Structure 1
């Protein structure tokens, strides 16, 4: 549980810095979306450390943020590299948080 939440927090930090990594920091809406969603994922993942189960709202928030990451490249028409990184890591975000929501330990 703790490892999965830390992984989710690291993914949140990655999404927070992607505008500068991929060079689309000049797109204000994309910058704000990545900043807000990445920061929210980081904070919620840290708040969920050591918790699992269907009633942990922080994991639900991170799960749905992962779904938004999948849609984001389609909204801003990014290049192929950004598209695959966002979609792939969005699915990874969803899978990590889904495994926290429905773990075998409950």
Structure 2
């Protein structure tokens, strides 16, 4: 099992235990691959949910550029909803898990088809 496979297993476990959802492993794998080398860096592998600038980056670079969504209040509402689901007290919110939940929230699985 490679490093990426270990991380995907960890992300799947977070989705099950912390977010209460059974992950679509194929989609989770594609979203994780889409994160690129960021998943291997301790700082960039997580989303700093308390930093407004970080959430703005998720909105701009992921939701608008990657998923092709139009800017609107609903984007930040979705990010906040995902953070709430993950658990505000959860220190490590993995980027791939947050992105996976946002893809599911907006029904944008086809982006990774």
Range into which the TM-score falls when normalised by the shorter chain: 0.3 to 0.5
Give TM-score, length-normalised by structure 1. Answer: 0.33
Higher helix share: 1
Normalization by structure 2: what TM-score? 0.31
